[in-house]
Amino acid sequence: MTTAIDRSKTYSEIEAEQWLRMYRRMLMIRVFEEQVNDLYTRALMPGLAHLYIGEEAVAVGVCEALRQTDYITSTHRGHGHCLAKGAALDRMFAELLGKEAGYCKGKGGSMHIADPDTGNLGANAIVGGSAGIATGAAFSARRLKTDQVSVCFFGDGALGQGLLYEVMNMAALWKLPVIYVCENNLYNEYAHNSETLAGDMLARGSAFGLHAENVDGQDVRAVYRTAREIVDHVRQGAGPAFLVCQTYRFMGHHVGDINREYYRSKQEEQMWKTERDPIKVLGDWLTAQNLADRARFDQIHAEVKSEVEKAVQFAMAAPYPSPDKVGQDVYA
């Protein structure tokens, strides 16, 4: 009983500026993550870092279809979602470095960025752990009669978690405005998902009556168009949806995952990087359409690079929280 989405309804031609904005966002995430990699390998960043490089089109395409007041929940691989939803680079870096100026005053770190101002309910380091929260936010939107929608980002590994199916069932029963976005990057840590997933991925959503759709997660235009249609329907009360984005992480599971050949080949990685890089895919299309030229791209690259550099400098210079803050914020 999946709700049919009206394909004949075309959106007005999206301005080149909007595609360029998405290009810029994806690039910002890419350069941010490269910077994280650098900080981490130079031992300037504590903890763990799960890079989003290669998957930028998913977060950017989906979040472009959202309003600032819409909700998202994110994952351990969450920097991209937070930035795509509007987080500022400097406070992101500050949080990753454990500084007081960070989004969570240094108490959350890389895996827990949260920001009410951009509707970010929080990144979550429990695989699949935010499915309830995202669904609950949709529940509030329904009850409080706001027209917000809620997006739950999660990896293909989260399809192994029962919570997801419990809340999908309730979201469908109660027609909640929630979209479950599965980032299928093929791997759960160091295991290919052919070893962890039985049956059909999309059917996991359609079994509950969710509108379920697959999209090429390396093509931001496809992600955006599909997300836009789904978001509109969900916002109008059509009930929840399940969007599977086919994507790939270019780097290791986390920054320290260097030798990966025991679970995936260099050729496979190379293929994705050269042929399926979301930034290149969009760049090539923009060039072919004569919507941007070399000079324009160079300008964007230079601007993004300088913004990221400034943000890192801010975070490096920012003070750590004083240890006496450790007991604050346990209770509201």
Binding residues vs Mg ion (CB under 5 A) = 155-157, 185, 187
Q: Assess 269 for contact with ligand TPP (CB under 6 A).
A: no
Q: Which residues between 43 and 102 bind ligand TPP (CB under 6 A)?
A: 76-77
List the x/- string, 130-169, binding to ligand TPP by CB under 6 A.
-------------------------xxxx-----------
Least spacing, CB of residue 214 vs Mg ion, in Å: 16
- The H or E element spanning position 231 is helix 220-235
Instruction: Please report how many Cα atoms fall inside a 13 Å half-sphere around the Cα of residue 121, on the Cβ side.
Output: 24
Helix (H, G, I), strand (E, B) or coil at 72: strand
Residue number, 104 or 243, with CB nearest to other proteins? 104
Q: Assess 234 for contact with other proteins (CB under 8 A).
A: no
Cα 320 from Cα 58, distance rounded (Å)? 33
The pairs formed by 303-312 with CB atoms below 8 angstroms and a separation of 24 or more are 303/24, 304/24, 304/27, 304/28, 304/31, 305/31, 307/28, 307/89, 308/28, 308/31, 308/32, 308/35, 308/89, 309/35, 310/89, 310/90, 311/88, 311/89, 311/90, 311/92, 311/93, 312/35, 312/39, 312/93
List the x/- string, 49-78, binding to other proteins by CB under 8 A.
----------------------x-x-----
Q: Assess 208 for contact with other proteins (CB under 8 A).
A: no
Give CA separation, 46 vs 93, 106, 207, in Å.
12, 11, 42
Terminal CA-to-CA distance of the chain, rounded, Å? Answer: 43
Q: Assess 316 for contact with other proteins (CB under 8 A).
A: no
Q: Which stretch binds other proteins (CB under 8 A): 2-10, 82-90, 102-110, 238-246?
A: 102-110
Residue number, 11 or 320, with CB nearest to other proteins? 320
Residue number, 104 or 127, with CB nearest to ligand TPP? 127
Two structure tokens written together for 162: 């029962």
Q: Contact residues for ligand TPP (CB under 6 A)? A: 76-77, 125-127, 155-158, 185, 187-189, 253
Q: Contact residues for other proteins (CB under 8 A)? A: 71, 73, 102-108, 112, 114-116, 121-122, 124, 126, 129-141, 143-144, 150, 162-163, 166-167, 169-170, 173, 328-332
